[in-house]
């Protein structure tokens, strides 16, 4: 049996221990989280992106009665960035969430489809895309590269 994958990340008890730039990014994600349209899951997710020119782009999950038609917060933010600022890179992506759908100590981690999109964003820009995951209990994991979130990515 081969075991050849390891995941590197920093672990914090709270996002409040991050440096100021990252704390601002987390706050932006919490703000946009309130704009989620999530009447079906009652789980509000906020994503924020720190772009290579310094601006912050945000997105929240948007659900639809025809379930597959909705979209996760991360993809709303990344696709907005790709649509409007195709020449900028994403330095850091931050994800937060609120709601009883997941218990507070459950690790907040992007779904598989979002990981694929995040992985390709990193691949396209040829520079590391940092990822900050903030669970509802404030536990915060910081990944230097999105590669650590998707072993054996497609392409």
Residues in touch with ligand THU (CB under 6 A): 38, 41, 43, 45, 61, 63, 70, 72-74, 101, 110-111, 114
Active site residues: 74
Min CB(45)–ligand THU separation in Å? 3
CA atoms of 3 and 124, how far apart (whole Å): 28
Q: Looking at beta carbons only, is 56 or 96 nearer to ligand THU?
A: 96
Min CB(8)–ligand THU separation in Å? 20
CA atoms of 136 and 124, how far apart (whole Å): 31
Q: Looking at beta carbons only, is 70 or 82 nearer to ligand THU?
A: 70
Min CB(136)–ligand THU separation in Å? 13
Handedness of CA 31, 37, 41, 47 (dihedral sign): negative
Q: Looking at beta carbons only, is 4 or 103 nearer to ligand THU?
A: 103
**CB proximity list for 98: less than 8 A, separation 6 or greater:** 33, 43, 44, 136
How far separated are the first and last CA of the chain, in Å rounded?
A: 24
């Amino acid at each position: 049996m081969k075991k050849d994958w390891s995941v590197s990340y920093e672990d914090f008890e709270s996002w409040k221990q991050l440096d100021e730039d990252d704390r601002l990014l987390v706050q932006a994600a919490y703000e946009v989280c309130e704009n989620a349209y999530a009447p079906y899951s009652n789980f509000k997710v906020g994503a924020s992106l720190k772009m290579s020119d310094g601006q912050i782009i945000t997105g929240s999950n948007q659900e639809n009665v025809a379930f597959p038609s909705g979209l996760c917060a991360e993809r709303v933010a990344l696709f907005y960035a790709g649509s409007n600022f195709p020449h900028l890179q994403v330095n850091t992506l931050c994800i937060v969430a609120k709601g009883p759908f997941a218990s507070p100590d459950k690790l907040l981690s992007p779904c598989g489809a979002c990981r694929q999109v995040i992985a390709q964003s990193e691949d396209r820009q040829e520079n590391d895309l940092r990822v900050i995951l903030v669970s509802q209990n404030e536990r915060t994991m910081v990944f230097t590269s999105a590669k650590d979130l998707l072993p054996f990515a497609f392409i």
